[in-house]
Copies of this chain bind each other. A is one copy, B any other.
Amino acid sequence: MKNTQSENNLPEPTKAELEILQVLWEFGPSTVRFVNDKLNEQREVNYTSTLKQMQILTEKGILKRDESQMKHIYIPVEAEEKTKVQLLDRFVNTLYKGSASQLMMQLLGNEKTSKKEIEEIKRLLDSMD
């Protein structure tokens, strides 16, 4: 089966880019300073490195920004869900030939998926229909 990329096709975010997106998803539109501080809670990064990444992200059309103030505010162009769905879709296609149920089985067989999680999933499915 052909993988027809849908019309709005943003480039795949890289690892460093994902880190930044996560901060924006969690805390909403932010300045570079804020994002950089958050990143530095996990690992050391220079301010200008984060700045550069966010500028690149903007060039790529993954972020947009409000430049009306000196402290630019960065905002993801696509909603968190949408981006994650895209990544998930790519993941399922690459590793499981698009079969969600196969991925599921792996998930369920994984010890790290707790009983609680499994119950959660069951309830979710029952409440679907």
Which of B84, B101, B120 contacts A121, CB < 8 Å? B101
Residues of B contacting A87 in the complex (Cβ-Cβ under 8 angstroms): 95
A79 vs chain B, min Cβ distance (A): 12
* Number of chain copies forming the complex: 2
Q: Which residues from 105 to 129 on chain A have a C-beta closer than 8 Å to any C-beta of chain B? A: 105-110, 112-113, 117-118, 120-122, 124-125, 128
Residues of B contacting A92 in the complex (Cβ-Cβ under 8 angstroms): 107
14 contacts between A and B (CB under 8 A): A81-B106, A85-B109, A87-B95, A88-B106, A89-B112, A100-B110, A100-B113, A100-B121, A103-B107, A105-B124, A108-B125, A108-B128, A121-B125, A125-B125
